[in-house]
Amino acid sequence: MPIEFKKNRALFRDEVSVEEAEALLEWLQTRPTAKVDLSACSHLHTANLQVLMTAKAGVSNWPKNAELRSWLEPALKSGE
Amino acid sequence: MRRILIVDDAATVRMYHRGILESAGYLVEEAWNGIEALEKALEAPFDLYIVDINMPKLDGYGFLRELRQQQIAQQPAVMVSTEAAAGDERMAYQSGANSYLVKPVVQSQLLSHVRLLLGEANQ
Amino acid sequence: MSPVPPNPLLEQFISESRDLLEASGKKLMQLEDAPDDQVILNELFRCVHTLKGNSGLFTFPEMTRVLHAGEDLLGMVRSGQAIYSRELADRLLDAMDYVGLLCGEIEATDGIDASRALESQHLADALRKLMPNLIPNQDAAAVRDGDSPVVANAQTSPADNPSADLKQFAAIPAVARKSALERCRQGDQLHWISYRPQRECFFHGDDPLNSARQTPGLIWGRILAPGPLPPLSELDTYSCLLGFDLLTNAPREELDQYYRYLPDQVEIIAVPAQWLEKGHGDADGASKALSRAIPSGSFSEDDEAAFNWILAAQRQILLLDDRPAWHAGRLKAIAEVLANLSQAVGETSTRSDIQTALAEALSTGHNTLLLAWLDAWIVTRKTIQPVAGLSWARGTDGIMAAAKTDSNLDVGSATAGDPSKAPADEGVRFGRRAEDSLTGTRSLKVDQTKIDRLMNLIGELVVEKNALPYLAQRAEVQFGSRELSREIKGQYSVINRIADEMQDAIMQVRMMAVSFVFQRFPRLVRDTSRKLGKEVQLVLEGEQTEADKNIIESLADPLIHIVRNSLDHGLESPEVRLAAGKPATGKLTIRAAQEADRVVIEIVDDGKGIDPAVIKQKAYEKGIIDEATLERISDQEAINLIFAAGLSTAAVISDLSGRGVGMDVVRSAVEKINGTVVIESELGKGTSIRISLPLSMAVTQVMVIESDGQLFGVPMDHVIETVRVTRDSIHAIKQTKTAVLRGRIVPLKSLNTLLGIAAIPRLNSDDELAVLLVQAGNAELGLIVDGFQETMGVIQKPFSGFLTGLSAYSGSALMGDGSVLMILNIREIV
């Protein structure tokens, strides 16, 4: 599973595809305080990204991939 | 003295441009819409035209097209707009402008432009 | 506080702003009746556009912000993206009012108080809320700039987005910027890519983030939401809402190749190194390298920018493949510009090359040679590679933006300190020119006091010339010189004619159209009726009717009062109207017309009318009429009681027509300027109020009458006729003397009695009394006097000082022989 949903935290792993976006959206809709852990993520499809941005989801861990992190950090931090 | 025509329906903008240009020693005339500008230009062509876009009766594009269509010497024209919009700029060039500036045009920028378009060497 | 030196440009700005605000208000009103009228809409847009443009010359961000929002909103209405609505009009009117307020503040204090920022933001937000798919001004940077397009419309196509705005370069962090400049120095061409994926791109298998990440030569990139993001509950996962800005050093061909499947979703712009530096503020190697590439002479930074830019623009024009009718002229202008540019850098020999290339382009219809010449020249000049013109225009914007925020650039320093100063204040004189007025409307704005002075002088002349006939008389009677007397009379008639014409001419200058007063009514009626929940159609007629300025000005308050009364008490609510079988929308007509030497203004409504019974009862209750009067008073007389002091007919006094201020105030205001007011009303049908005013109040025609050896003037407005009445035709009814005049019984009063003069009226040799039939309000009255003299035009002066208490007189006038003529105030004495 590219996204592992825990109680109040979602763990992203490797490449997260467009198919995951709907589930992510539903999950976040019911958990306004949920955080995402992106440390193990190497890429996420734009659809997932815009769900995170719209939800202003908090990020508990940034990607280890520095290049990806440099993209995501400004976009997701501004939502906080 | 080089003659410059300011074409703008806003009196404040005309006054502003006139102030800058006259302080640099140019002879300035004003027109407040495209029709008036065209009449003046056909009477005695100017060395340079500074043209606003949005004006009553005949807008800046229309004025330039008419001007460029006349069988007279073709002098440089600068279009000034309040928007940095790509569409407006393309339209300005298409209509016969030689340059496109965004208002408010600061003094040094306007004068650089005018001097170069008039072929004046910088002292 | 030291006086602020007058700034003509600022004065011009305020004055033009006022005109534009007035015009905007008018257009908004007109749009209300014709929301689809594109002509009016365009004019309105232009007014707001010009206002905004003008405000940008100064540092008035509070004003610019509101106007910018207004302009954007109107732009969307114009293009059909937003719908004109009452709310929209309300918000725009609020915004215009606010800008008017700011104008006043600027005029008084030369600046805008910082505390205004919040209000201005609220107003701008309110306007932006009306834009579809747009969010209130979110971008803090844009707020600071005051005039930047704040948000892009998510629905417009990517190509229309001002995505490559140079201001965005400011977002590039220093590290990336440095690295980019480094590569630039090594000879790489930088490109800015604005990538705005289609909404449905996910369905095509696109992953824009992935595409962005894999962009060749990527130096820096960012994710952004060009439009507003919806609430989470409304998010459509499969509709792409994000966009990307990228900076790369890959060659153009490689980028074109990479994005070949998305040509309509990306915009690729070559970025000269200097644009990156502008935002950066410090000059380093790349900028020096650039200036080395620039032609000879002591080019300033602005010159460099302008030179490159103009060059690129000419290239872009040459690349246009349209061939409009003005194509030849356009080419000639380019050739002229190129020749001038080369002359500016000291290469005069190129002119003939350009002429050859031009001739070829004109004859073959191909610009190849001109383009080739231009490109070759660019190469030899080692200028930076010109690109599609887009970035150049944006470039200016970038320069401007950088200059505005970066005060160590000289271009911005003038604006930074003193908000009242124009950007180019130093060393530049902004003189007001005679041509200004000529090039604008062909009219001259003259200070009112100058006209007043002319008026006073002509008044004196008219009076002084009246001394000449007396002089002629003295010449003949006292000095026995008939010839001199005749000559004086001759001269008098000449001076008299000139004075008359002059007076007439000055009067013409003072004439003003009633539209000056009428123009406030659309707004007044609109706001008031809305507040009252009524539907009212306002019809204005004869707005061009003219009258003396003083008359027009003193007309404003009474008219406003009447209109408010009509809206408040006259016109009914839509439900009541429908129940009464009338259309839901009431009609209020304000009509002006000239009738002989008077201006007549009628205010007609089709409301519920005035109930005479209610008035009678009220008047009786308030002790305005006694029981006997209550019995015999006619309906018309009852309605006239509405002008009596202290009568208010509405059951509830609303805040609109003013507490405790009735129509009596209207009457006295009208009468003060020698006007009359008449009311007619039919219960259930409506009310009509008719105000008649002199065209001019400067000269009053009076009839001179004599009583007990004294002369008095009676304004001709009140004089109906002069008659002689034999003593035996005077009858006493009760205590009142009456006579039958023109078939009617008219009460007679002795002027002596009215003025408290003891003498009895003199009879002439035929045993007749001189009776001046006058109109006093709605009543006719015969004034018994001793004799009539001529009528004459006099300049009436109101009393000043303790004399103002003499209500029997409306003023005095100087006669030709230097004596003073007292002008009777007929209404007061009867």
Q: Does C213 touch chain A (CB under 8 A)?
A: yes
Residues 481-520 of C with CB under 8 A from B: none
Name the residue ranges covered by the structural domains of chain C: 8-150, 152-294+386-426, 298-307+322-382, 448-512, 514-610+649-694, 699-829
* CA-based nearest distance C274→chain A, Å: 25
Summarised one tens digit per residue, pLDDT across range C697-714 is 666 778 899 888 888 999
- Three-state DSSP at C783 gives strand
- The domain C8-150 having CATH identifier 1.20.120.160: the answer here is yes
Among C344, C390, C399, beta carbon nearest to B121: C344
* CA-based nearest distance B92→chain C, Å: 10
pLDDT of residue C168: 60
pLDDT of residue C615: 82
Summarised one tens digit per residue, pLDDT across range C470-488 is 888 888 888 888 889 988 9
Query: What domain count does chain A have?
Result: 1
CB A42 within 8 A of CB A15: yes
**What number is the average pLDDT over the span C25-50?**
87
- The domain C699-829 having CATH identifier 2.40.50.180: the answer here is yes
Q: Does A44 touch chain C (CB under 8 A)?
A: yes
Range in B16-30, C268-282, C285-299, C335-349 the model is least confident about? C285-299
pLDDT of residue B52: 93
Summarised one tens digit per residue, pLDDT across range C725-736 is 888 888 887 778
Residue B80 β-bridge partners:
B52, B101
* CA-based nearest distance C86→chain A, Å: 33
Q: Does C165 touch chain B (CB under 8 A)?
A: yes
Q: Does A15 touch chain C (CB under 8 A)?
A: no
Instruction: Report residue C414's pLDDT band, with 50, 70 and 90 as the boundaries.
Output: very low
* CA-based nearest distance B65→chain C, Å: 6
Instruction: Report residue C184's pLDDT band, with 50, 70 and 90 as the boundaries.
Output: confident
**What number is the average pLDDT over the span C60-75?**
89
Please indicate whether residue C431 or residue A61 has the higher confidence score (pLDDT): A61
Q: Name the residue with tokens 């690109």.
A: C387
Instruction: Report residue C633's pLDDT band, with 50, 70 and 90 as the boundaries.
Output: confident
Instruction: Report residue C288's pLDDT band, with 50, 70 and 90 as the boundaries.
Output: very low
> Residues 6 or more apart from C45 whose CB is under 8 A from it?
B54, C71, C74, C75, C78
Average pLDDT taken over every residue of chain B: 88
pLDDT of residue C424: 40
pLDDT of residue C1: 43
Query: What is the percentage of chain C residues whose pLDDT exceeds 90?
Result: 9
CB-based contacts of C230-235 (< 8 A; 24+ apart in sequence): C230/A54, C231/A54, C232/A25, C232/A28, C232/A29, C232/A54, C232/A55, C233/A29, C235/A25, C235/A50, C235/A51, C235/A54
What is the predicted ipTM?
A: 0.94
* CA-based nearest distance C391→chain A, Å: 25
Instruction: Report residue C818's pLDDT band, with 50, 70 and 90 as the boundaries.
Output: low
Q: Which fold has domain B3-117?
A: Rossmann fold (3.40.50)
CB C250 within 8 A of CB C215: yes
Q: B6, B9, B12, B48: which to substitute to probe chain C, counting the most C Cβ within 10 Å? A: B12
CB C304 within 8 A of CB C395: no
Instruction: Report residue C597's pLDDT band, with 50, 70 and 90 as the boundaries.
Output: confident
Contact check, Cβ <8 Å, B93/C389: yes
Q: Which of C316, A13, C132 is nearest to B97 (CA)?
A: C316
Range in A49-58, B58-67, C87-96, C340-349 the model is least confident about? C340-349
| C149 → chain B, closest CA residue | B83
Summarised one tens digit per residue, pLDDT across range A18-55 is 888 888 988 888 888 888 999 889 899 999 999 998 88
User: β-strand C243-248 against B77-81: which pairing, if any?
Assistant: unpaired
Q: Which of C787, C592, C587 is nearest to C704 (CA)?
A: C787
Summarised one tens digit per residue, pLDDT across range C601-613 is 999 999 988 888 8
Residue A59 belongs to domain with CATH number: 3.30.750.24
Range in C271-275, C529-533, C584-588 the model is least confident about? C271-275
Do B and A make contact via 3 or more CB pairs under 8 A? The reply is no
Please indicate whether residue C292 or residue C244 has the higher confidence score (pLDDT): C244
Whether pLDDT at C129 is above 90: no
* Structure-token pair, residue C127: 């306007």
- Domain of residue A16, residue span: 3-77
Contact residues on chain A for C237, CB-CB shorter than 8 A: 21-22, 25, 47, 50-51
pLDDT of residue B4: 95
Summarised one tens digit per residue, pLDDT across range C739-789 is 888 778 888 888 888 888 888 888 887 888 899 999 877 788 899 998 888
**What number is the average pLDDT over the span C360-387?**
69
Q: Which fold has domain C514-610+649-694?
A: Heat Shock Protein 90 (3.30.565)
Residues 283-302 of C with CB under 8 A from B: 297-300, 302
Q: Does C417 touch chain A (CB under 8 A)?
A: no
**What number is the average pLDDT over the span C152-159?**
32
Contact residues on chain A for C235, CB-CB shorter than 8 A: 25, 50-51, 54
* CA-based nearest distance C711→chain B, Å: 56
Among B14, B101, B104, beta carbon nearest to C423: B104
Whether pLDDT at C328 is above 80: yes
Contact residues on chain C for A25, CB-CB shorter than 8 A: 232, 235, 237
Average pLDDT taken over every residue of chain C: 76
